[in-house]
């Protein structure tokens, strides 16, 4: 049987700060992952965690597991347990998380100043399974950043209103124009819903008549002009 050591500081200082079960699960899993890693600096990416079936299976009681994961990481970062850094790899954002130690703080400072490079150290992106589209929260996290509670509510509403293919294409269009913000993406979706989309792709509910009238109900209905 193998064991993963935890620093005494975890029990004396960190554990008393944690009152969320999912946050505790995520942190313990990060300790386990980092213990197995070699090289410098040691970090884990959001993509690695989100693709980890063991971890995600442990938080599947959440309505939105990916959102719950991001929320847990944000709480740990806000408490100073984790260090958070965003880097760009081939035009895609990657979120890096480090255990808050002196060595990690020095590494993050060097990365931010350009004195340290992560070339070759970043893991490859996990491919999406065939036929499985990423959900709106995953798209937001991969291309924009942390999901705040307010934005989370808007994402849920948008996911209800618009077909997943539209959402994915809207994110791609925004990223290609370097407009990495939800307001811009939301406007793309609203424009497609009112003016129509060039490919004529039907909406989420194929039993309803295609066109702007489908969107008169709901949060963004007031934006549709008669």
Locate the domains of the chain by residue range: 1-123, 128-226
Query: Would you give per-residue pLDDT tens digits along the chain (226 residues)?
Result: 567 788 777 788 788 888 888 999 999 999 988 888 888 889 999 988 988 888 888 886 656 788 889 889 999 999 999 999 988 766 677 899 999 999 999 999 999 998 988 876 676 555 444 445 568 888 888 888 877 878 888 888 888 888 888 898 899 898 888 888 999 999 999 998 888 776 544 444 433 444 444 444 454 455 444 4
- The torsion angles phi and psi of 34, rounded to 5 degrees, stand at -70, -30
Counting Cβ atoms within 10 Å, is residue 3 exposed (0-12), middle (13-18) or buried (19+)?
exposed
Q: Under DSSP, is residue 81 helix (H, G, I), strand (E, B) or coil?
A: coil
Q: Is 108 helix (H, G, I), strand (E, B) or coil?
A: helix
DSSP 221: G
The CATH T-level fold of domain 1-123 is: Arc Repressor Mutant, subunit A (1.10.10)
Pick the CATH number of 128-226 from 2.70.98.10, 1.10.10.630, 1.10.10.10, 3.30.930.10: 1.10.10.630
Q: What is the pTM of this model?
A: 0.56
């Amino acid at each position: 049987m193998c064991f993963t050591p935890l620093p005494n500081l975890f029990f004396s200082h960190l554990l008393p700060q944690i009152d969320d079960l999912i946050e505790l699960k995520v942190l313990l899993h990060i300790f386990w992952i980092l213990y197995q890693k070699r090289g410098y600096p040691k970090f884990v990416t959001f993509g690695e965690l989100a693709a980890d079936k063991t971890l995600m299976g442990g938080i599947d009681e959440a309505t939105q597991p990916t959102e719950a994961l991001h929320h847990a990481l944000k709480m740990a970062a806000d408490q100073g347990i984790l260090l958070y850094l965003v880097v760009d790899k081939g035009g895609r954002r990657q979120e890096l998380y480090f255990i808050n130690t002196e060595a990690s703080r020095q590494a993050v400072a060097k990365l931010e100043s350009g004195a340290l490079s992560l070339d070759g150290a970043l893991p490859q992106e996990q491919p999406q399974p065939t036929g499985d589209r990423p959900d709106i929260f995953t798209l937001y996290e991969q291309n924009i950043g942390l999901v705040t509670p307010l934005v989370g509510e808007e994402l849920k509403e948008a996911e209800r209103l618009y077909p997943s293919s539209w959402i994915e294409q809207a994110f791609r269009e925004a990223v290609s124009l370097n407009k990495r913000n939800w307001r811009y993406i939301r406007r793309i979706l609203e424009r497609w819903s009112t003016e129509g989309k060039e490919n004529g792709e039907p909406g989420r509910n194929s039993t309803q008549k295609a066109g702007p009238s489908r969107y008169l109900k709901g949060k963004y209905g007031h934006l549709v002009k008669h």
